């Protein structure tokens, strides 16, 4: 039953993938996690009995806590976070309810190791255009909101990855890269088990724009134009990424909520 301190899986699902998504904390015990080692998209595992230690580091304005069944662990952790001054809710029914609703879950084994600050670190070629903006957007919105991205000279991507424990992407001969007709964004959507209808639709747009196949979907030309425009507006790759986050937020919301909506100039004729 709903309460003022809980959130339903359906409501949370509408927030995931948007800039307003709360911090998502998974406090399942090890035995429960081992039985299904996947995570609600964007969530991070934390020990329930150390909430007073890690709770202080949460910077998000709101938090949703998940345990297996949505009972004592998530309720207790959420209550502690509220006691610490952080608005927090427990997920109704917990992880079990999320899976029962048919909502996506990310295989934990696919998420790269986190650094000492708890971030995944990724590295790719400098001067991004499409795939190298789309992939960081997907990672930050659905895998690791705190992910760090390093943009380096193309010939140094592999070496930087090795020296700085960063995961390379969108270069040849690495796991996170193009496969056949699929671009890296396609691969990430599939490997992270995020192939929802909106993300499949967005993946088709990214693929078409990134691989010069604008005939695949009419929206691809717009994404290509906006992406090339951003690359000329920003000389700093990280500034371009931040601007690109807004662009992909907009494309995602169109893919999720607005594909049937049309727009035209209203007629000014009497009686129209």
Task: State mean pLDDT over 104-115.
Answer: 98
Task: Give Dmax over CA atoms of the chain in angstroms.
Answer: 70
Check residue 2 and give its pLDDT.
60
Distance CA 177, CA 218 (A): 24
**pLDDT above 70 for 213:** yes
Burial of 231 (0-12, 13-18, 19+ CB in 10 A): middle
pLDDT at site 265:
84
- Percentage of the chain modeled with pLDDT above 90: 95
The stretch 210-221 carries a mean pLDDT of 96
Write down the pLDDT at residue 42: 98
Alpha-carbon distance of 72 to 88, in angstroms, equals 14
Instruction: Give every CB contact of residue 65 below 8 A, 6+ residues apart in sequence.
Output: 25, 27, 73, 74, 77, 78, 81, 88, 89, 90, 91
User: How far apart, in whole angstroms, are the C-alpha atoms of residue 130 and residue 231?
Assistant: 9
pLDDT at 267: 62
- Tell me the chain's radius of gyration from C-alpha atoms: 20
Instruction: Check whether 272 has a pLDDT greater than 60.
Output: no
CATH entry 3.40.50.1100 includes domain 6-106: no
pLDDT of residue 161: 98
Q: Return d(Cα 201, Cα 218) in angstroms, integer.
A: 12
Question: Is the overall model pTM greater than 0.75, yes or no?
Answer: yes
Do 40 and 126 contact (CB within 8 A), yes or no?
Answer: no
Average pLDDT over residues 79-106: 98
* Distance, CA of 115 to CA of 123 (rounded, Å): 14
Q: Mean pLDDT, to the nearest integer, of 235-246?
A: 98
| Angstrom distance (rounded) from CA 55 to CA 270 | 61
Phi, psi of 106 (to 5 degrees): -95, 125
Q: How far apart are CA 166 and CA 129, in angstroms?
A: 20
Pair 69, 93: CB distance under 8 Å:
yes
Q: What is the pLDDT averaged over residues 173-185?
A: 97
Q: What is the mean pLDDT of the chain?
A: 96
How far apart CA 92 and CA 130 sit, in angstroms, is 37
Give the whole-angstrom CA distance, residue 188 versus residue 111: 11
In the Cβ-directed half-sphere of 106, how many Cα atoms lie within 13 Å? 23
Task: Indicate the pairing of strand 38-39 with strand 106-107.
Answer: antiparallel
Closest Cα partner for 71 from 122, 15, 5, 116? 5
Domain range annotation of the chain: 6-106, 111-258
């Amino acid at each position: 039953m709903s309460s003022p301190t809980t959130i339903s899986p359906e409501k949370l699902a509408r927030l995931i993938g948007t800039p307003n998504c709360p911090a998502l904390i998974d406090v399942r015990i090890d035995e429960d996690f081992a039985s299904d080692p996947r995570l609600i998209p964007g969530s991070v595992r934390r020990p329930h009995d150390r909430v007073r230690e890690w709770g202080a580091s949460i910077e998000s304005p709101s938090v949703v806590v998940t345990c297996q069944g949505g009972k004592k662990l998530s309720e207790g952790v959420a209550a502690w976070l509220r006691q610490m001054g952080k608005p927090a809710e427990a997920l109704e029914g917990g992880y079990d309810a999320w899976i029962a609703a048919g909502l996506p879950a990310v295989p934990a084994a696919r998420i790269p190791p986190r650094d000492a600050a708890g971030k995944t670190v990724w590295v790719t070629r400098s001067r991004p255009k499409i795939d190298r903006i789309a992939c960081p957007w997907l990672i930050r919105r659905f895998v690791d909101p705190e992910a760090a991205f390093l943009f380096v000279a193309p010939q140094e991507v592999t070496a930087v990855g090795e020296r700085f424990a960063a995961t390379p992407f969108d270069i040849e001969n690495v796991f996170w890269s193009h496969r056949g007709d699929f671009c890296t964004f396609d691969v990430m959507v599939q490997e992270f088990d995020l192939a929802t209808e909106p993300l499949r639709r967005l993946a088709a747009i990214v693929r078409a724009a990134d691989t010069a196949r604008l005939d695949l979907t009419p929206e691809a030309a717009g994404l290509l134009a906006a992406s090339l425009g951003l690359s000329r507006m920003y000389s700093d790759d990280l500034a371009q990424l931040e601007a690109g986050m807004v662009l992909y937020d907009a494309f995602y919301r169109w893919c999720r909520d607005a594909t049937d909506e049309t727009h035209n100039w209203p007629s000014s004729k009497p009686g129209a």
